[in-house]
């Protein structure tokens, strides 16, 4: 083998399992060894159960040997963000306020589907408390660091998953995204992340942030995320928001050509005031590649202006709903920034909350009309590269500033469209930069295919952080 197992993608591992040239037990053991040797520097995992992971790998190996594998992901190690229920393991959500002494007797829909597919659950990954912000640190688990530069954040709130994948601790993982929480860490950590159409991937229990929050795949390549979507997009009756199930084979459709596609490119979405010049340059170069792939690219801004105030009202209200009634002694255990957000959220009136919902509807309608003319919309994933750990923002830490560097991610939680971050290069100081590819509502397969086409034209997925 030209690569070590930890360097391989999920697709490569699956092919070698099928050929009986590699064992799920070997791969899982290698993942455990790397995590135990290297994760102290990164802090991407908050819960490990090596014996349980080994047992899953041994069962998978037996299935592959007898030709009874459950799916192409049978035996592939996968990380689970610690906002998603996992049977037998605590889900503490990065918070000291969650009692670990519980039964933990159910799986979230995505975790249940992974078990049914035979995947090896390798551990739970870190998150900021209740996934509230775009960097990953919490009073419970401390600071999670970026493998590309340990002084920088890997992003959030799925920063533990992105860091684990970037450090080659596992090839794929689960994230959640309420305001960019898959795409932010994917961009900062140099990996691929997809926020699917809302309802495409079932969720339970529903996030306290309501219909802003999505669950989706994270990986090094678009193909691996497509394979993961084939599993996690299957139905679960517990999610009453879920879309009707349609048995799409995302991996089989990933080579759909871009020739003739109509693409809008918006460098600033019409309102983003500050963007790092190197980010803008790399994203503009990435947009030009789509022309060379046969697409028609037009620079144009979508309608609606800045939806940040609408998002803020809804997000802050979600924090208030979750935490506003906590007793003072419990609030004292919270991340101070989250505690302040909940306090401010309590002060939002019902009238303002309902007005924000109306504004969201108008914004989403305008975006759907805009997308009738275009197959995809390209933007920067973020306005900056990764910044120093322990901060909310590279700009300032006033509690609201994190939205100033995430102007491109928040809109598509409001509209619920599929959106992905794909690596498009590195800054002069060696930090990854992401391109955002947004699709029409329900066209998750199209976003994956566009991501794959770009990825093949400008591959970055085999580049590894030094020391890993």
Q: From the candidates 53, 60, 158, 181, which is the catalytic residue?
A: 181
Question: Nearest to residue 110, comparing CAs of 175, 54, 171?
Answer: 175
What is the Cα–Cα distance from 422 to 429, expressed in whole angstroms?
Answer: 19
User: Which pair of tokens denotes residue 366?
Assistant: 């305008």
**CA dist 75 → 29, 70, 400, 401 (Å):** 12, 9, 42, 42
> In this structure, what token pair is assigned to residue 222?
């678009």
* Burial (0-12, 13-18, 19+ Cβ within 10 Å), 67: exposed
| DSSP label of 283 | H
**Is the preceding peptide bond at 157 cis, omega within 30 degrees of 0?**
yes
The contacts of residue 432 (CB under 8 Å, 6+ apart) are 148, 187, 188, 189, 190, 385, 386, 423, 425, 426, 460
β-pair partners for 379: 436
Give the residue from 129, 131, 194 showing the smallest Cα distance to 158: 131
Which residue among the candidates 14, 81, 393, 409 is catalytic per the annotation?
81
Q: Closest Cα to residue 268, out of 350, 378, 187, 389?
A: 378
- Known catalytic residue: 242? no
How far does CA 269 lie from the centroid of its chain? 21
Catalytic residue check, 181: yes
Residue from 44, 60, 95, 157 carrying the catalytic annotation? 157
Q: Considering Cα of 209, then 215, then 220, then 223, what sign does the dihedral take? A: negative
As beta bridge partners, residue 378 has 265, 437
44 catalytic? Reply is no
**Strand 262-265 relative to strand 296-299, pairing:** parallel
- Cα gap 424→111, rounded to integer Å: 30
Active site residue ranges:
81, 157, 181
């Amino acid at each position: 083998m030209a690569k070590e197992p930890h360097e391989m993608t999920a697709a490569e591992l699956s092919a070698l399992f099928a050929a009986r040239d590699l064992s799920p037990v070997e791969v899982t053991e290698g993942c455990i060894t790397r995590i135990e040797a290297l994760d102290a520097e990164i802090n991407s995992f908050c819960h490990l159960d090596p014996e349980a992971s080994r047992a899953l790998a041994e069962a998978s190996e037996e299935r592959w040997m007898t030709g009874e594998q459950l799916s192409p992901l049978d035996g592939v190690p996968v990380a689970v963000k610690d906002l998603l229920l996992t049977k037998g393991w605590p889900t503490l959500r990065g918070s000291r306020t969650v009692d670990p002494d519980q039964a933990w007797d159910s799986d979230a829909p995505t975790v249940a589907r992974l078990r049914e597919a035979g995947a090896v659950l390798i551990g739970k990954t870190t998150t900021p408390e209740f996934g509230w912000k775009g960097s990953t640190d919490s009073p419970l688990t401390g600071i999670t660091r970026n493998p590309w530069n340990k002084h920088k954040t890997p992003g959030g709130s799925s920063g533990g998953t992105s860091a684990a994948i970037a450090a080659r601790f596992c090839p794929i993982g689960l994230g959640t995204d309420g305001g960019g929480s898959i795409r932010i860490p994917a961009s900062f950590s140099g990996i691929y992340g997809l926020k699917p159409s809302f309802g495409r991937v079932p969720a339970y229990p529903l996030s306290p942030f309501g219909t802003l929050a999505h669950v989706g795949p994270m990986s090094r390549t678009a193909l691996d995320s497509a394979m993961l979507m084939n599993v996690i997009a299957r139905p679960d009756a517990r999610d009453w928001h879920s879309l009707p199930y349609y048995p799409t084979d995302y991996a089989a459709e990933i080579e759909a050509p871009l020739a003739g596609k109509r693409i809008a490119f918006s460098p600033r979405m019409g309102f983003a005031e500050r963007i790092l010049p190197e980010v803008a340059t790399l994203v503009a170069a990435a947009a030009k590649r789509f022309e060379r792939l046969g697409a028609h690219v037009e620079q144009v801004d979508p309608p609606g202006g800045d939806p940040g105030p609408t998002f803020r009202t809804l997000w802050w209200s979600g924090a208030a709903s979750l935490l506003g009634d906590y007793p003072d002694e419990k609030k004292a255990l919270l991340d101070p920034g989250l505690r302040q957000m909940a306090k401010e959220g309590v002060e939002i009136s019902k009238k303002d909350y309902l007005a924000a919902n109306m504004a969201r509807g108008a914004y989403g309608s305008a975006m759907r009309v805009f997308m009738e003319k275009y197959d995809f919309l390209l933007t920067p994933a973020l306005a900056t590269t990764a910044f120093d750990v322990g901060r909310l923002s590279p700009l300032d830490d006033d509690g609201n500033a994190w939205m100033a560097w995430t102007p491109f991610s928040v809109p598509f939680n409001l509209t619920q469209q599929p959106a992905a971050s794909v690596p498009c290069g590195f800054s002069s100081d060696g930090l990854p930069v992401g391109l955002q590819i947004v699709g029409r509502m329900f066209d998750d397969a199209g976003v994956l295919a566009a991501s794959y086409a770009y990825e093949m034209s400008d591959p970055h997925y085999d580049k590894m952080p030094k020391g890993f």
